[in-house]
Amino acid sequence: MKVKADIIRIYKILHTWVGIISGMALFIAFYAGALTIFKESITHWATPPHSEVEASQLQDVSGLIARIIEAEPSAADTVLLNLYPDKYHTHQLMWINQDENAGDHDVSTNRYYTGRLDKKDQLLTEEVHPVPVAEFIDTLHRVVGLPVDSDTNRWIMGVFATLYTLALVSGLVILLPNLVKVFFAFRLGRKPKHVWLDAHNVVGVSSLPFHIIMALTAFVFAYHDLLYDAQDNVIHDGQLRQALFASAPKPNPLQSTDPSVMLSPESLLDIAQTASPSFEPYQLEYVGITTPKASVRIWGYDDYALAPRTPGGFIAINPYTGEVQSTDYLPGENNDMIVVNSLFALHFATFGGSPIRWVYFILGLAGAWLFYTGNLLWVENRRKRIKADDALCSQRKDTRVMASLTVGICLGCVCGISLMLASSKWLSLQSQAVFSSYQWIYYLMFFAALFWAFIRGAARSLVDLLWVAALTTLTIPATSLLAFILPDSGLWAHTEPSTIMVDVTALLMAIGFVFLARATSRRVYQSGAIDSVWSYQPKGA
């Protein structure tokens, strides 16, 4: 396919600059996003085992919920019944108090409570502290490294998603004339810059469908409220909200509002299984059960169907009458929401079970690497372009700053997340870690890495920070190993396959960082390629 040279040149400029502007933020989004694919496993890995008394029988839960609401009226808004508290290392019954001023997705100020009966049938309630480390990694993913998932931060993320889309389109136009040739051009033994460029092109082209999905869905997630408002005014004549919530529970003034007479969880689960036999419930979320709009959302998974949300999907049932109120969010349900639900599933990898999640994990890491290499290539090319002849040139200040920013931000993110995960079990030995604990750990590590990149220089700090990344990541499985060696230390290591894989994956990534650190060290200190940003020459040498 022939494309005019001047058009190619324009798209090269566009691809370069939007990539440079958005690359570091997108690195954080993709690296954290890859880990978020296994958010549930990370949460279980970081959660200490419970020494709590036995859970209540399911047939007694309705009465227990009624007593909790009588003692703690704020629990009436939402009560969570976890069907497998031992398996998921959580409490059987929980409720959440949210800050009224916090955004819909902001979990940083949430406070969690649980209730149970003691041996004398007395109600005991207490505040509990679920480990929020995976929640904070998810926040980093959703708002490109900013501390809180607010509307403003999501709009910022949307700007980067727009630039990301421009980079994808312009990159494709650049490659179109030589797409096949470029795709198979990866050959070892060439100059390092050409090898990196070939690898950058191969990864970019081969994962293009994945990146198109991520770019489009991220833009919609950022501006969905604004998009809905625009549709409401232009297309639906102010009736969009009624259309969207047409299947929401309708008030029934004739039904009871006494939680003690609700249907048992077993009966509700039977209704859900009848609606979808392959649906596997794990949690019941009771909403507004002291009001005429009472509902219970039964959450679960179905590996054979598309799930519309990260926690799976749900069926909404009236807890008093057993009437099915909505199946719009039930995995595999083919209804008016199928398009929207499919987009959610494609973004969150909530289909196809573990194999698809591992594919997304690898693609996420590859995406982060793609943005990182894009910046490295720009920095190196910038140096070559400012040379007037074959003599060595002095690096321009703006290029040195960009090189240090790339190293500091990207590896600062890697080191910060690894340090957070490694510290989560140690924090539990001393106190109940809250959301802000992980914010402090992450940003201290992040800014320390950034500071080091500037005072040490891009080349040398790259080696140093790769070793730090290896060390902090290795500390994750080392902590679990220490729990086996010293069981009296208070540390723990769960033995479910999903939590063991957290340690195994961290170990493999730590080994990968060691190899990268050694190879980079040879490149920086021993390669003899002195005319490069990524080599170091002592002054006077």
Where in the chain are the domains?
1-48+131-247+358-377, 383-540
Is the separation of the CB atoms in 350 and 309 below 8 Å? yes
CA-nearest of 13, 79, 88 to 52 is 88
CB atoms within 10 A of CB 497: 10
Mean pLDDT of residues grouped by 10 in the chain (541 residues)? 76 83 92 95 90 74 92 91 88 88 77 88 88 93 90 91 88 73 61 74 84 89 81 73 68 84 94 92 94 93 83 92 90 75 86 91 94 84 61 70 93 97 88 83 97 93 97 96 90 91 97 95 79 69 55
Is the separation of the CB atoms in 420 and 481 below 8 Å? no
**CB-based contacts of 254, cutoff 8 Å, min separation 6:** none
> What is residue 137's predicted lDDT score, i.e. its pLDDT?
96
> What is residue 262's predicted lDDT score, i.e. its pLDDT?
94
CA-nearest of 472, 461, 474, 456 to 521 is 461
With tokens 């509700």, the residue in question is: 268
What phi, psi does 297 have (nearest 5°)?
Answer: -100, 120
Residue 112, beta-bridge partner list: 96, 128
Alpha-carbon distance of 331 to 278, in angstroms, equals 9
> What is residue 54's predicted lDDT score, i.e. its pLDDT?
64
CA-nearest of 263, 249, 247 to 81 is 263
> What is residue 302's predicted lDDT score, i.e. its pLDDT?
87
Alpha-carbon distance of 56 to 49, in angstroms, equals 18
Q: What single string gives the DSSP state of each residue in 401-459?
A: HHHHHHHHHHHHHHHHHHHHHHHHHHHHHHS---HHHHHHHHHHHHHHHHHHHHHH-HH
> What is residue 183's predicted lDDT score, i.e. its pLDDT?
64
Helix 208-234 and helix 192-206, axial crossing angle in degrees, nearest 10: 50
The tokens describing 189, both together, are 């033994």
Alpha-carbon distance of 108 to 462, in angstroms, equals 32
> What is residue 385's predicted lDDT score, i.e. its pLDDT?
60
The tokens describing 77, both together, are 């808004």
Alpha-carbon distance of 344 to 359, in angstroms, equals 17
Alpha-carbon distance of 286 to 522, in angstroms, equals 59
> What is residue 391's predicted lDDT score, i.e. its pLDDT?
55
Strand ranges (DSSP E) for 249-383?
A: 280-287, 295-301, 313-317, 324-326
> What is residue 528's predicted lDDT score, i.e. its pLDDT?
67
The tokens describing 466, both together, are 């790769």
